[in-house]
């Protein structure tokens, strides 16, 4: 089963108009949303006029059978530590939340769909750029 994690900056345009970004993830059987992504998305709702509309779009998306929310677990924390160390050793730090999102993708054997090229520095992670 092919899985993909959606980064927040992929989820936002996807919810606004799923036709264009959907082409990039059409070959995947399952879409995973880490709790970190849900938190970032919901935090962003406070700063938009379309907050209610975007909240509803997210809730509808989460109802799809091919979409799953993945929690942060002890296994995620262990993978986060490995990602953190690898990026530190390689001299390529990335934002904290993105390390958690990458750790979640690796933990679940998923690729990541994102607009952030810095995910390409994460070992063991396949990146699908928006």
Backbone angles phi, psi at 66, to 5 degrees: -90, 0
pTM, two decimals, is 0.92
Q: What is the pLDDT of residue 76?
A: 98
As for how many domains the chain has, the answer is 1
Mean pLDDT of the chain: 92
Compute CA distances 93 → 60, 109, 120, 130, whole Å: 34, 22, 11, 21
Q: What is the pLDDT of residue 75?
A: 97
Q: What is the pLDDT of residue 103?
A: 98
Q: Which structural domain, as residue segments, surrounds residue 111?
A: 3-129
CATH number where 92 lies: 3.40.50.1010
Give tens-digit pLDDT for 12-36: 888 888 777 788 888 999 999 999 9
User: Which of 44-53, 84-93, 98-107 is predicted with the least confidence, judged by mean pLDDT?
Assistant: 44-53
> Could you tell me the pLDDT band of residue 40, with boundaries at 50, 70 and 90?
very high
59: three-class secondary structure by DSSP:
helix
**Averaged pLDDT, 102-116:** 97
Please say if the pLDDT value at position 113 is more than 80: yes
């Amino acid at each position: 089963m092919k899985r993909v994690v959606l980064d927040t900056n992929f989820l936002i345009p996807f919810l606004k108009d799923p036709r264009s970004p959907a082409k990039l993830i059409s070959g995947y059987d399952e879409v995973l949303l880490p709790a970190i992504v849900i938190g970032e998305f919901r935090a962003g709702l406070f700063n938009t006029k379309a907050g209610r509309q975007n909240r509803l779009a997210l809730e509808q998306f989460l109802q799809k059978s091919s979409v799953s929310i993945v929690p942060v677990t002890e296994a995620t924390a262990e993978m986060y530590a490995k990602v953190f160390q690898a990026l530190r050793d390689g001299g390529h730090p990335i934002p904290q939340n993105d390390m958690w999102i990458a750790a979640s993708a690796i933990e679940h054997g998923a690729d990541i769909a994102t607009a952030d090229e810095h995910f390409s520095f994460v070992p063991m992670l396949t990146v699908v750029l928006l």
